Amino acid sequence: MNDLSIETPNEEEFKLFQHLIERELGIYLPSEKKVMLGNRLWKRVVANECASYRRYYRLICRVDNAKELARELELITTNETFFFREKKHFQFLEEELPQYFQQYKKLKVWSAACSTGEEPYSIAMTLMNTGYINSWSVMASDVNKKVLQKAKDAIYLDQRTQNIPPDYRKKYFQQGIGEFNGYIRVKPEVRKRVAFLQCNLSNDFSHIGLFDVVFLRNVLIYFSLERKKDILQRVSKQMKKGGVLFTGHSESLHGLVSDLKCICPAIYLKQ
């Protein structure tokens, strides 16, 4: 085996990983993703001195190898995100949401696939800045422990923060110095308003509590139609009546859940 050039799994090997990934994460990898799977896993195949993908598959399926399995799964998730992604959602949070929540004393928000934290911190900064409600909390979750750790650290490359409004940048971030030159960090007063939790949306999460607002953005695209439907129904159960759900702009919920009514593009009201 040559560790310099990345090998692509054959059809049989691909199927083994396809089933494993769907079982563990709910993520469905169509066969066009064979090369992508190779690109993401090859390093681990080589690092574990496995002669083939099949050997690596056997290795991660061993009960005493849960750590390597977790590592493999972390390489599969796509964690692309950025601050204030889909700006209209944050405008809605700032300008429209108050009319829905006048009756509430406390606003509970769930960012259900939070990746490295840009989404929940954007929500927290928006709520902090508008000040229309004092009592609010953000719970942020993801299946991938590695990205959750980055989210908790809240340290970001300066270049990746162009979308942050300048006044937010000034108020809610610290500039890194010394070894952190070129980085910024979310200030403690924002960090402490966001709690992080590992949660696999494919598994039961009924213990997680009830929310007024849920962000479930740019994650449904990775699931099969059946799985998407199942996750949406269970997410909807965790929402209070009159609660608001935000999804990614490319993710249509049409015909998937009956108790969520579309009120704006990619924004739904729980009936």
Rule CB under 6 A: which residues touch ligand SAM? Answer: 25-27, 77-81, 85, 113, 115, 119, 142-144, 147, 200-202, 217-219, 222, 248
Query: CA quadruple 34, 37, 38, 39: dihedral positive or negative?
Result: positive
Among 27, 99, 89, CA closest to 214? 89
Distance CA 248, CA 21 (A): 22
Q: Which one of the listed residues 40, 191, 217, 227 is annotated catalytic? A: 40
Among 179, 91, 82, CA closest to 121? 82
- Give min distance, CB of 178 to ligand SAM, in A: 30
- Give min distance, CB of 70 to ligand SAM, in A: 12
- Give min distance, CB of 117 to ligand SAM, in A: 9
- Give min distance, CB of 228 to ligand SAM, in A: 11
Distance CA 245, CA 212 (A): 9
Instruction: Answer yes or no: 54 catalytic.
Output: no
Nearer to ligand SAM, 121 or 172 (CB): 121
Q: Which one of the listed residues 85, 142, 217, 227 is annotated catalytic? A: 142
Structure tokens given for 154: 């809240």
Nearer to ligand SAM, 143 or 260 (CB): 143
What does DSSP say about strands 106-111 and 135-142: parallel, antiparallel, or unpaired? parallel
Among 182, 190, 99, 97, CA closest to 152? 190
Instruction: Answer yes or no: 142 catalytic.
Output: yes
Q: What letter represents residue 171's amino acid?
A: K
Structure tokens given for 52: 């083939």
Among 104, 96, 114, CA closest to 135? 104
- Give min distance, CB of 11 to ligand SAM, in A: 24
Nearer to ligand SAM, 18 or 144 (CB): 144
Q: Count CA within 13 A, CB hemisphere, residue 239.
A: 27
Nearer to ligand SAM, 55 or 146 (CB): 146
Catalytic residue numbers, as ranges: 40, 142
